[in-house]
Amino acid sequence: MNKLSIVVTVLLACLVSHSWAKIARVPLRAQANFTKTHDNIKAEKSILASKYLVEASTSTTATVGKEVLHNYYNMEYYGLMSIGNPRQYFNILFDTGSSNLWVPSVNCLSTNLACQNHNKYNSSASSTYVANGQNVSIQYGTGSMAGYLSTDTVRVDNIPIESQTFLEAVSEPGTTFVDAPFAGIWGLAFESISQGGVTPPLDNMISQGLLDEPVISFYLKRNGKAVQGGELIFGGIDSTFYTGSLTYVPVSVADYWQFEVTALKTQGVAIAKNFQAIADTGTSLIVMPQADYKAMNTLIGATDNGNGEAFVDCDKLSSLKNVNFIIGGTIFTLKPSDYISEISGNGETYCMSIFSYLEGLSLWILGDAFIGKFYTVFDKGNLQVGFAPVATS
Ligand SMILES: *[C@@H]1O[C@H](CO)[C@@H](O)[C@H](O)[C@H]1NC(C)=O
Ligand SMILES: *[C@@H]1O[C@H](CO)[C@@H](O)[C@H](O)[C@H]1NC(C)=O
Ligand SMILES: *[C@@H]1O[C@H](CO)[C@@H](O)[C@H](O)[C@H]1NC(C)=O
């Protein structure tokens, strides 16, 4: 072949493969030089309570309310998506622990800082908008997220999801989201826990035949200071992101991405056996029942501050031991550097264990401290979750 025909052949191959590859790769971004504060953790736990303990979060409104001015939810990972025609862009938190898509509305209250600080969806400016108008509210510890449903084309990495219904938020709770680097949240869990009975975007992507495979996978970079935060893949798995093979376990209850963990062990002691856990990209923490939290702190020499946060002496990090999760017959090891997080406050840095608890919650929540260490596949087609160690470059 001459040069020109090679170029033409390659071009054609690219065009053909592109029209068939139904995969959306969403670069995830992280906030540069982000160090959590005590208030970030508090906000995260308030969000977790609203997701997993609906009644408890309602009843704690009063106490949390006193501190709303400092209650910020600054998750590190978010990506870009658009709504409407022409496209209106939003930074969004991709959250496997909830099932609704919401963005701030152009009709949000002028007094609502969280909404005013971010991009707002303007339905009048979109030719593909279809009105719905049903009111929906989601209760958070710091107040409620209120708004109404609208329908439009939602795009992620150029894949158009037609007739996607989402929540246009007109009021966001307290100051939880004011400083968040993302405007809204894209829930990736199951329809059964979707507020307003809305079909989640992932379900529509699958039913509209937009994905090669009915899976999503998360690669979260844990190199702390970088802006490059990893990648979320809709419709596929990238084996260059992990080493060895994926260990799959069945989804036990298809509300959240819930599955059974065989055991959690450290220093030869089984802290817990045969328990139910949820893989949740919307939190940085690992949440466990209170009794297990106490046992864990005793073993790693961490001290509780009275608020369900445990701290270790930063000088003693080198003496800490690994923690092993046994899932589907495979051992998943977290090193001390994986489960100790730096927290800043009063001009100082503290070493906090990411193991935490929420009073009244018996489920375990495995957040980014786990998902960042283990590439995670959320397989809707086969109702299973897969994990493999992230390849370190
Ligand atoms: C992050 O820290 C690096 C090194 O200290 C610095 O060069 C950079 O400007 C910082 N970036 C931001 C966004 O603060
Ligand atoms: C919303 O879009 C319409 C149509 O483009 C425009 O007239 C209006 O000013 C926009 N509203 C706001 C608040 O930007
Ligand atoms: C939705 O909420 C708004 C603001 O609270 C209210 O004015 C409107 O009547 C509600 N609509 C319906 C259909 O309930």
pLDDT for res 144: 79
Q: What is the pLDDT of residue 57?
A: 41
Atom of ligand 1 nearest to the CA of 31: 13
What's the rounded Cα separation, in Å, for the pair 151 and 22?
A: 23
Q: How confident is the model at residue 59 (pLDDT cuts 50, 70, 90)?
A: very low
Identify the pLDDT of residue 94: 94
Phi-psi region of 6 (alpha: psi -120 to 50; beta: other; left: phi over 0): alpha
Write the residue with the smallest CA distance to atom 10 of ligand 1: 33
Catalytic one among 95, 203, 368, 379? 95
User: Which residues, judged by CB distance below 6 Å to any ligand atom, belong to the binding site of ligand 1?
Assistant: 32-33
Rounded Cα distance, 79 and 185, in Å: 10
Do 30 and 229 form a contact (C-beta atoms < 8 A)? yes
Q: Which domains does the chain have, with CATH numbers?
A: 3-239 (2.40.70.10), 241-385 (2.40.70.10)
pLDDT, average across residues 16-40: 77
Q: Which pLDDT score is estimated for 63?
A: 35
Better-scored residue on pLDDT, 8 or 88: 88
Output the pLDDT for position 145. Answer: 87
Active-site annotation holder among 203, 280, 368, 379: 280
Separation of CA 74 and ligand 2 centre (Å) = 29
Mean pLDDT of 136-162: 89
Per-residue model confidence as pLDDT tens digits over 298-329: 999 999 988 889 999 999 999 999 999 999 99
In this model, does residue 6 exceed pLDDT 60? Answer: no
Residue 112 confidence (pLDDT): 86
Answer for the pair 185, 123: CB distance below 8 angstroms, yes or no: no
Q: Which residues line ligand 2 (CB under 6 A)?
A: 106, 122, 124-125
Mean pLDDT within 20-32: 83
**pTM of the full predicted structure?**
0.89
Q: Vertex 74, ends 59 and 159: CA angle to 5°?
A: 105
Among 38-42, 47-51, 66-70, 239-243, the range scoring the smallest mean pLDDT is 66-70
Average pLDDT value for the chain: 87
Calculate how far, in angstroms, residue 354's C-alpha sits from the geometric centre of ligand 1.
25
pLDDT above 70 covers what percent of the chain?
87
Query: What is the position in ligand 2's atom list of the atom closest to the CA of 106?
Result: 13
What pLDDT was estimated at residue 294?
95
Report the nearest-CA residue for atom 2 of ligand 2. 125
Q: What is the mean pLDDT of residues 12-33?
A: 70
Ligand nearest to the CA of 227: 1
- Which ligand has the shortest distance to the CA of 226? 1
Query: Does the annotation mark 280 as catalytic?
Result: yes
Position in ligand 1 atom list of the atom nearest CA 32: 13
Question: Does the structure show a pLDDT above 70 at 198?
Answer: yes
Q: What is the distance in A from the centroid of ligand 2 to the CA of 98?
A: 30
Work out the average pLDDT over 158-170.
Answer: 96
Question: Looking at residues 146-156, what average pLDDT do you find?
Answer: 97
Mean per-residue pLDDT for 53-78?
52
Q: Which of 14-28, 38-52, 64-78, 298-312 has the highest mean pLDDT?
A: 298-312
Short-list 365, 339, 367, CA closest to 353:
339
Average the pLDDT over 134-146 and give the result. 82
pLDDT tens, position by position, 320-368: 999 999 999 999 999 999 999 988 888 889 999 999 999 889 999 999 9
Give the whole-angstrom CA distance, residue 96 versus residue 203: 13
The pLDDT score that the predictor gives to residue 226 is 52
CB proximity list for 280: less than 8 A, separation 6 or greater: 51, 95, 96, 97, 256, 257, 365, 366, 367
Q: Which residue's CA is the nearest one to ligand 1's atom 13?
A: 32
Determine the distance separating the centroid of ligand 3 and the alpha carbon of 196, expressed in angstroms: 14
How far apart are the CA of 270 and the centre of ligand 3, in A? 52
Residue 139 pLDDT exceeds 90: no
Q: Is the predicted pLDDT of residue 64 greater than 60, yes or no?
A: no
Q: Find the ligand nearest to 131 CA.
A: 3
Q: Which two tokens stand for residue 274?
A: 């045969």
Point out the ligand 1 atom lying closest to the alpha carbon of residue 33. Answer: 1
Q: Above 80 in pLDDT, residue 3?
A: no
Residue 205 near residue 159, CB atoms below 8 Å: yes
- Banded pLDDT at 280 (limits 50, 70, 90): very high
- In angstroms, the CA 187 to CA 172 distance is 16
Catalytic site residue 255? no
Q: Are 259 and 274 in contact (CB under 8 A)?
A: no
Which ligand is closest in space to the CA of residue 35?
A: 1
The closest residue, in CA terms, to atom 5 on ligand 1 is 33
pLDDT of 19: 53
CB 221 within 8 A of CB 372: yes
Q: Pick the atom of ligand 1 nearest to 227's CA.
A: 13
Backbone angles phi, psi at 382, to 5 degrees: -105, 10
pLDDT of 23 over the 80 cut: yes
Do 337 and 320 form a contact (C-beta atoms < 8 A)? no
CA of 131 to the centre of ligand 2 (A): 16
Question: How far from chain centre, in Å, is Cα 18?
Answer: 28
